[in-house]
Chain A
Amino acid sequence: MNGGWAPLLASEWRKVATTKMAWVLAAIAVAYSSINAGVLVLVATGSIPDLPSGDANMLEDPDYITTIIGQASTAATFVLILGIIAVTGEYRHMTITSTLLSTPRRGRVLTAKMGLYGLLGALIAVVTLVAVTTLVAVALLWFEHAPITASTIATVGIGSLAGFVLYAVLGVSLGALIRSQIAAIIIAMVWVLLLEAILVLALPAVAKWLPGGALSAVMDVGLEADLSGAMTQADRLPPWGGALVLLAYSVVLALFALRTTMRRDIT
């Protein structure tokens, strides 16, 4: 073997750093969660005309502050896409050939990608949290509001950190299984935005075991409703349970991919 994981991770990092895709997705993640948080501030301050909920008192409710800061974790979908592109992008541009010439053991390549994209997920979680917290803190300077406590930031931060890491890793294993970039992204989007959204309402007892439900357990910020407002606390797994479920999905998908699609001939 080529001696250790460090060179492999360094190579994967350079792949990310030398193309635009990851930076574009990270920027979208930051913008998306910042807009979500901004909208909640505007709603509470009555700055959006024709919205009935203009009640500045909302900002004095600590739970509402937690919900606003919690928007930092709403960009998980973009992290999932980033993970998907990690593998599918290599097949799309056929860089997989030089990757496998350098590291013929395909399991090593996949493991390194899961590791590096997990780290990228963590990085995006931190950047997003800093951006949202800063934006909200500045916006609230003009209003009476409950304090943004360190424990709120820590709770949201730990949740989105764990959630983004696990979703990025899940994306990598999903991309390994479905090598077509467009197919993998469409399947992921239909799953996250459509099927799970329906199942959460129809069959919460099942939905909590699915990736989206598990993610919402990981990102538990201690409120009754989760951030999408669909799953109540009683419906959810404990955070560690959600994390284990997500990890299990990634490992199972990755092992399955290594025995099927990733084993295929590179032609």
Chain B
Amino acid sequence: MAGHGTFQPKNPILKWLERRLPVLSLMHDSFVVYPVPRNLNYWWTFGGILSFMLAVQIVTGVVLAMHYTPTSSGAFDSVEHIMRDVNYGWLLRYIHANGASLFFLAAYIHIFRGLYYGSYKEPREVLWILGVIIFVLMMATAFMGYVLPWGQMSFWAATVITNLFSAIPGFGRAITQWLWGGYAVDQPTLQRFFSLHYLLPFMIAGVVVLHLWALHHVGQGNPLGIDVKSDRDTVPFTPYATAKDNFALICFVILLAWFVFYIPNFLGIPPDNYIPANPLQTPPHIVPEWYFLPFYAILRAIPNKLLGVVALFGSILVLFFLPWLDTSKVRSARFRPLYRQFFWVFVAVCIGLDYLGSKPAEGGYVIVARVLTAYYFLYFLVILPALGYLETPRPLPASISEPVLPEKSAAAVAMGARAPERKG
């Protein structure tokens, strides 16, 4: 992280601070002069978007907690109180609920970006694993947050998901009762979920710091998937990356605003969740949020309870091993003609599983879900390991700058630090 800049504050107070805690130069080195590959495209702007969304969720969540009551008798009413009585409560809640959905949208784009461009390969394995940890924490946080309004979907989502642990042989019942604090989902469950829902975002923030540390230590990947070889291959973070990140962020926030102001219940809140929780009646169709549906489809595709749960957790755990499952040394899919085709099939499979997760578990839906589930696992466990041996990658360019900077001006550009490319 350190070592790029030679930041010297002029202001005497800042100088005093810098000598005692070099936080200003750390920020300057990390977000101003930090060299980023000059060929980053818009798929690289989602890291910034995700950081912003985490901040939005924490800020809106902290203020919502000022009005929310985590009791089985008061939770549902307090959410309606937020919607009707609290000043701008409707806005804060809709931003929080839709923000969670779009947080996942951005995370999935970020993850698929990593898959396409091989962002998990040496030396970025730890960076990738930290990202998967953040993803798992996000899922836990989103699930517990979904339980808090204590509507029918909240209650039954909590019941179904905690019951996944009842599949564990021998200890299943003891573990579920420990999670519930009783014999079923009830007041103790709600209250501990509230406590953890408040805690986990800060743990995510902590892992994000490690994620960024690892990122700035090994340097960013780029669409060509080749290493930065000289200063000619990079541009300074500010203004280049900050401007690009901010433009993408504004577009993303417009999308969020569209959901919040025009279709606030479309993504996140099904009608059943406006019915208070009733432990004696299950709604006819329990469907999780769209961002959990692929995993839900995998769970339901397998007719055996234990194996279904193993497949569900396995579909996430396999991501941890991805850096070692992909045996190809070439990072970017641009130079991997076969991998690129399997990748797009994989994207289609994930979208297909997402669709199937929302459909009833019967007839043709189950059969298709089984085929797609099989591909999901084959992709990671067979196709990726085999492709590294079978595929002939296309030749890689010599450097990031070679295709875009004229060779003649190499010296001039190198000396002129990072001036914009000359025309012609």
A in complex with B: no
Q: Which residues of B pack against A, CB within 8 Å?
A: none
Q: Which residues of A pack against B, CB within 8 Å?
A: none
